[in-house]
Structure 1
Amino acid sequence: MAAIESSAMKLENETAELELIAKAFQAIAKEISYGGLADALLKTALRHSGAVRGAVLLSEGGELLAKADATFPREKAKVFASQPSVREFQLPDDLSERVFMRQETVVRDDSRKGAALIDRAECPTGPNVTVLCQPLIHQGQTVGALYLESEAAPALFTPRCLSVMSMLASQAAVSFESAQLFEALRETNMWMVRGQQIGRMGSYRWNTRTLLSRASRECYRIFDIGLDINPVPFETFRACVHPDDLPDLEKALAGAVSAKSPFSHEYRVVHRDGTILHVVAVGQFDLSPAGDVELEGIITDVTEQKVSEQAVADARAALARAARLASLGELAGSIIHEVNQPLTAIRASADACLRWLAREPADTDEARRSALRVVEQSRRATNVVGGLRSLVRDSHLRFADVHVNETIEEVLVLLKRELELAGVALKTAFDETLPPIEADRVQLQQVVLNLVRNAVEAMASVDGVRALSISSRVADGHVSVSIADTGVGVDPASAEHLFAALYTTKGEGLGLGLSICRKIVVAHGGRLWAEKNTTHGATFTFTLPARQFRRLSGSN
């Protein structure tokens, strides 16, 4: 009877032990972090082996490095965040070779050498120390080792104990490999999240059947959506789009879904506090595991880029306006002369009209002729002032039908006095059949003004005839204007450099005039270039698409 009770008790103890071991295996298997895994492994190993100290070593760079240690009964593992020092945690060379290289389980009396891994300040030891070092092997590779110390005789590490430690080591090896993969995945995800934050770019995947989206954290920030909304309904994203941009976005999205073609669209997003972001969304279609068609892509916050682009555009506009004002300042004398002439004529004609009316009887015919001269001269003054007003207004593009010949003549009115003082003979040859063009009249005036004044300056140091020829013609759907002078000419090798910003051949000036001219012409869809004349001087030519040709090109 006593034997039966002893056997039953032994069986009960073994069953309880197996249950504890099974729970230990489960605890080790479910851990996905280095710290949690090391803690679970050491706690189980210390309890089931009777050891008083233990450590976990992992393979790095061809050697075993301690990553955590624990003592009994404290048990809670101390995990090292950084690589420990060699003096504290280096295994003896012979032990390291047997465990790491030969993959042997080593049990030995280490009392003479002492254990080099454990902090003995917290737990002093007696003279006798027995060491168990169990390799952690996964797919034939040593990924680490379990190190245990006992103050009892070597018989403590019995075959049964070694069998349990071997099973724990096998499970721990698999778990440590999984933890390493999880850590790598976590770091990759962290880098991706950080990269998206830095690049202001979020990723998304939109199911076209369920209309639900899965999105990265940066997408939530861009659309100002709470992180608790997951997955995100299409209506939630839709409600964030600027009302003015919504129709075009829905049209572009519907077209892409219908054709299963790559999607790309730029629009604005409105936050709950009224902040407006500019975003660019791109994506392509793919099938989900369930067979649904999904749009996968990225959304980039380009608000800062848009703000920078607008700042550059405003700076260019301010620079162009400053250049015009500078030109007008230099033309002040000529402008005063051009305005003063009609005013003088108006006063003289008005005085004459009064005299004709004061006669007895009044000479109404002569008075009428004097009044007509007043009207004519007032129109002349109005044209001059109107040209000045247009040249100093803001330089934002305002496209309208423009007659090139009339625009050139308006500029020549302002430059008439300057041409006379410079001794320049002006000759014009305008094609009266020129079609109108779609252009900003003010900016076109600025181009003509800069090119004519540039020609006058080029002839300032030239002796002999100073002739300026301005002609217009139409060819290949474009209106062409040429301004030729008899000045110093241009070097063909450096002709293209003339249009570079800050490039100048003059002793004075910033070298911005020709650069601005080219930018204006290019913005109108045209070209501007310079050529050396066969005799003297240079010819600057610019072309602009005629109205019909411009509209045809735009439709294509």
Structure 2
Amino acid sequence: MQMEIANQMQAEEALRDRERELSLLVDMVPSHLWRLTPEGEPTFFNRRMTDFLGLDVPDTDKPGMSRLDVLISTVLHPQDAVEFGETLRNSLATGVPFSLKYRLRRTDGLYRWMSSRAEPLRDHTGRIVQWYGLCHDIDDLVTAQEALHDRERELSLLVDMVPSNLWRLTPQGETTLVNKRMADFLGMDLDDTQQLAVVFDTIFHPDDAGEVEAVLGSCLRTGERFSMKYRLRRSDGVYRWMSGRAEPLRDEDGNIVQWFGLCHDIDDQMHAEDALRRAYDKLAQATQAASLAELSASIAHEVNQPLAAIVANSHACYRWLSATPPNVERAKITAERITRDANSAADVVSRVRALFRRTPHARSPEDVNRLTSEVCQLMVDEAAAKNVRIRTELAPDLPSVALDRVQIQQVLVNLIRNGVEAIEAADDSQHVLQILSCFDGPDAVRIEVRDDGTGFKDAERVFEPFFTTKPHGMGMGLAICRSIIESHGGRLWMANNEMRGATVAFKLPLAASETP
């Protein structure tokens, strides 16, 4: 009997030690732990919870109120109290686990967000004997999330205010986001992400869709920056020109995680530039026609006078020689007049030829590459209007050349324009005009203009004045270019390429001579 009592006392002591150990462990848990009766009355708070609330279970005893109601009315945020009570009572009635986020008042009066869960403990018959719950302090997380959401809303507002169409792609090219401005332009729902892929397959102009797909696909594969001009269809069906750009966003390992792009509406600018080009072409044609008409009138006026005198003196000479007897002395005088008038006509022709000669101008050292780049930049829009891209390969470290800047610019403009027109006339051209610079021996530099157009059919005559294959050309362009280059002591030549197209090249000596 004494043995049984001793064993029982040892068992009870071991149980009390176990309870103290469990109680210590419960108080060490970095969360609020609590226990409820099946009816929802609190029976236990761990130390962390009592320290947070500033009260323990006995402190919730108030006449005429349940402990649960006291807790709800004193420690729950007023905006969360009703939902907490309804959700907890529903779990107590149905046995469904309790889960909710709410705000608890700390002992200093501040409310902090909690994430709470509770599970029922059942006996062998399935009857709920009590509820165990815990709640984690997530106030810092909620505050950070709210700050992040506020930042996202602010950034979203800023994105929608940007006066450009903004969009985002996956690394595979799938559209995942457009800003409000672009959604309004396309006439689509900003929140309908499934509509994005459908819309983006139909918004490009049929003439641009293939090139956009090819260029963008190449950028997605290589990671190179996307940049091009294309036409987008507005919600009313009107296509407008856009200048589009896109840059990849990479992670720490250099992998592309997404693409961000934007496009500016440049339709008005494109139409204005097109109108300006048309006006410039018309003005050039009118100026050319006026100059030619003035030249023709001047030539006719100047040549007619000596020709009329030659005709009159010829008749007079004939009469003097036909007289009986012939008046040889008078005929000799008239013949001398004919010679004088013929020389006057020759002088008129010489003056006309002088119109196409270049007199020496002041020359200064110039960077040939920079001059070439400036002309290419000047001509890029004119070339693009005819679907031609200008590609340059300029040798580095070329020395300066003494030249007339305006005249060499005139040569380059003429050669580039001829190349662009040749490419435009070819059906299967690659639409690329190449401009190259390099050394030509130790004392000269060479510039080449290569096209893949139709080539020269009459290569022997291309430098003849007034010879042209263009319907509205004067045939003076290449002749004037050769005259300018030769006046610099250089040489200009052309050759048809082996495969297709032609190359026009000229070289300039480093110590350029001046020839009239």
TM-score of the superposed pair, with normalisation by structure 1: 0.30
Larger radius of gyration: 2
Q: TM-score, normalised by structure 2?
A: 0.32
